[in-house]
Amino acid sequence: MCGIVGYIGYEQAGPFLLEGLQTLEYRGYDSAGVCLNDGSELIVKKAKGKLKVLRELTNEGNDLKGTVGIGHTRWATHGEPSDVNAHPHLSESGRFAVVHNGIIENYQQLKDSLTAKGIEFRSKTDTEVIAQLIEYYYKGDLVDTIIKVLGRLDGSYALGVISQENPDEIIAVRKESPLIIGLGENENYLASDVTAILARTRTIYRLENDEIAILSRDGVKIINTDKDPVEKQTETVDWDVNAAKKGGYEHFMFKEIMEQPKAISDTIAPRIRDGRVVLDEIGLSAEELKKFNKINILACGSAYHVGVVAKYIFEKMLRIPVEADLASEFRYRDPIINDKTLTIVISQSGETADTKEAMKEAQRRGSHVISVVNVVGSAIAAESDDVIYTWAGPEIAVATTKAYSTQLAVIYLMALYFGDMLGTIVPDEYKALVNELEQLPEKIEAVLENKERIQYLASKFFNSRDVFFIGRNIDYALSLEGSLKLKEISYIHSEAYAAGELKHGTISLIEEGTPVIALATHEELIGKIVSNIEEVKTRGANVMCIACDTHKELEGIGETVFIPKVCDMLLPSLAVIPLQLFAYYVASLKGCDIDQPRNLAKSVTVE
């Protein structure tokens, strides 16, 4: 969603602010802006639409004067996307400027009370109340003022504040929304996301709730809301700077699809030692594990789809009931969960508001939480009882691919690790599965090599209005992801259906030429899915089928794409590749904005 960047140093801040905002584009936004202190006043430039509008307006930032500044990409919540609603927001006299990620829940009361005092608001945003409150309370000390203002705010925030009177400071503070301070030489940076400063520094502070950072050119001071100094350790970010660049590919999404063998290998390899899965991150003994009578999986979107795959795998291999729950639903339905429930929370960003809140709800009810997270140090990682990181590296495209795949890889590792501890997997099966898991990256390479075939099929289907995805068991779980990938980036309506459910309603939508993508990889149910394919074909469907190369008889059932045969548990990792590529090529043929689909944000930090 929204992104923050800030700079204080001896260089002109404009070009860096624009560069930083560009690296944050992937988060999803609909307007952007910057504010610099030019030595005598605060100068704001902001514009609705893509960053290119702001770049043109400011000559790539070169027309902006000042060595201290803040910038923002906004994803509209309160007030439509417009120039005036874009951040930064100034106080009435223009002496204070604020950028803000998050939501101020009591903004309307605050606005009403300030309006009653004669203060005039320019925008419809919740953020403007912060700038106006700062001016209202200001008596000469900006930090004191901000502390006072924080006491009046309900909700979540990451804030960057600069003032006209003090061209030598940026003040930053956060609550429930991430904020990072980057340390340079004679310059320091502010960012909501590490990718914005990766090209300049690897040394960061990660602010915790209610910590206030005072950035100057020569240092950063961190205090709490009582103004006591906070001792913090710096962290070194080891993400490769090139990982956040396109590296010759046209789109991040395609690059990230192609990176999957490496991402999976990075996630699996360090956790398999001498033929055994070792998850040192999990602090549960076999006795503690045996005490759980249920597993509860919480996530949103694609991460939830991983949870649905996990339900099939865990129930089969661990013989424990598993519930995969949409995080946004879980917390409002008085869930039945206690200390006998093991909760697994899945999130690429580690900041998804619904997932984070659902996790807290599970913890409040006594459940032990293991999180599966990609972004190191994110809120979910920090607040869960144990965290297993997916080593996917930065994922920039809004539509997840490599994070989804590495989350699946962690599910396989957990199934083997827990199965071994619980004694539900026999040694021979365990050995064979570990062996196959180690070969997974190579098999994915082989599927990626077949990309031209998928490109050809995309050219046959890209004009469709509706597409149906069908499958049974794990293939159904995967069809949910295939359908989401297609609709989110190509804007083609699609539905995922458990193939056995078709006859209970959906089949009435199948008519001459309706595309149906049938997943037919699950060995035990091949006969059943073939019958479902025949049913839709009889009604005129145009079928594309994904099957294992051990079932060559499916060659003529439709336009069939073969993947190498692996054990059932690992099939989703191979079968998802043609689905990702299909969505990508269809969106590309339709000329869609693949990396930043309309209305979507990478990290959904509001409910």
CA distance 96 to 100: 13
| Residue 253: Cβ within 10 Å count | 29
| Smaller CB separation from ligand F6R, 128 or 354 | 354
CA distance 505 to 500: 11
Which of 303, 362, 492, 516 binds ligand F6R (CB under 6 A)? It is 303
Show the tokens assigned to 11.
């260089």
| Smaller CB separation from ligand F6R, 85 or 348 | 348
192 belongs to the binding site for ligand F6R (CB under 6 A) = no
Stretch that binds ligand F6R, among 61-69, 295-303, 472-480, 538-546 (CB under 6 A): 295-303
Which of 85, 296, 603, 605 binds ligand F6R (CB under 6 A)? It is 603
**Active-site pick, 46, 255, 311, 602:** 602
Stretch that binds ligand F6R, among 150-158, 278-286, 346-354, 466-474 (CB under 6 A): 346-354
Binding positions for ligand F6R, 352-371, rule CB under 6 A? 352, 355
CB of 481 to ligand F6R, least distance (A): 8
Dihedrals phi, psi of 323, to nearest 5 degrees:
-115, 125
Stretch that binds ligand F6R, among 19-27, 106-114, 173-181, 344-352 (CB under 6 A): 344-352
CB of 214 to ligand F6R, least distance (A): 31
3-class DSSP assignment, residue 512: coil
CB of 300 to ligand F6R, least distance (A): 4
CA distances from 134 to 94, 145, 553 (A): 11, 6, 71
CA distance 17 to 99: 13
Binding positions for ligand F6R, 203-232, rule CB under 6 A? none
> Taking a C-beta distance cutoff of 8 angstroms, is the pair 546, 518 a contact?
yes
Which of 178, 533, 604, 605 binds ligand F6R (CB under 6 A)? It is 604
301 belongs to the binding site for ligand F6R (CB under 6 A) = yes
CA distance 162 to 35: 8
CA distance 269 to 284: 22
Q: Is 545 a catalytic residue?
A: no
Which of 156, 192, 265, 347 binds ligand F6R (CB under 6 A)? It is 347
CA distance 200 to 61: 17
| Smaller CB separation from ligand F6R, 201 or 390 | 390
Binding positions for ligand F6R, 385-424, rule CB under 6 A? 399-400
Binding positions for ligand F6R, 446-505, rule CB under 6 A? 484, 488
Is the preceding omega at residue 578 within 30 degrees of 0, hence cis?
Answer: no
Strands 3-8 vs 68-74: parallel, antiparallel or unpaired = antiparallel
DSSP conformation class of 207: P
3-class DSSP assignment, residue 150: helix
CB of 86 to ligand F6R, least distance (A): 24
CB of 299 to ligand F6R, least distance (A): 6
Stretch that binds ligand F6R, among 4-12, 297-305, 440-448, 559-567 (CB under 6 A): 297-305
CB of 418 to ligand F6R, least distance (A): 22
CB of 402 to ligand F6R, least distance (A): 11
CA distance 398 to 411: 22
What number of CA atoms fall less than 13 Å from residue 545's CA on the CB side? 28
Show the tokens assigned to 194.
């590490």
CA distance 341 to 348: 23
CA distances from 48 to 20, 53, 89, 165, 459 (A): 18, 8, 14, 28, 34
3-class DSSP assignment, residue 563: strand
| Smaller CB separation from ligand F6R, 73 or 405 | 405
Q: Is 2 a catalytic residue?
A: yes
Nearest residue to the partner ligand F6R, using Cβ: 301
384 belongs to the binding site for ligand F6R (CB under 6 A) = no
CB of 206 to ligand F6R, least distance (A): 17
- If phi over 0 gives left and psi between -120 and 50 gives alpha, with beta otherwise, what is residue 561? beta
Stretch that binds ligand F6R, among 279-287, 318-326, 347-355, 461-469 (CB under 6 A): 347-355
302 belongs to the binding site for ligand F6R (CB under 6 A) = yes
Which of 91, 328, 348, 390 binds ligand F6R (CB under 6 A)? It is 348
DSSP conformation class of 570: G
| Smaller CB separation from ligand F6R, 125 or 296 | 296
594 belongs to the binding site for ligand F6R (CB under 6 A) = no
Which residues, 6+ apart, have CB-to-CB distance to 314 below 8 Å? 295, 320, 322, 411, 414, 415, 418
Size of the site for ligand F6R (CB under 6 A): 15
What number of CA atoms fall less than 13 Å from residue 130's CA on the CB side? 32
CA distance 313 to 478: 12
The residues binding ligand F6R (CB under 6 A) are 300-303, 347-349, 352, 355, 399-400, 484, 488, 603-604
Catalytic residues: 2, 602
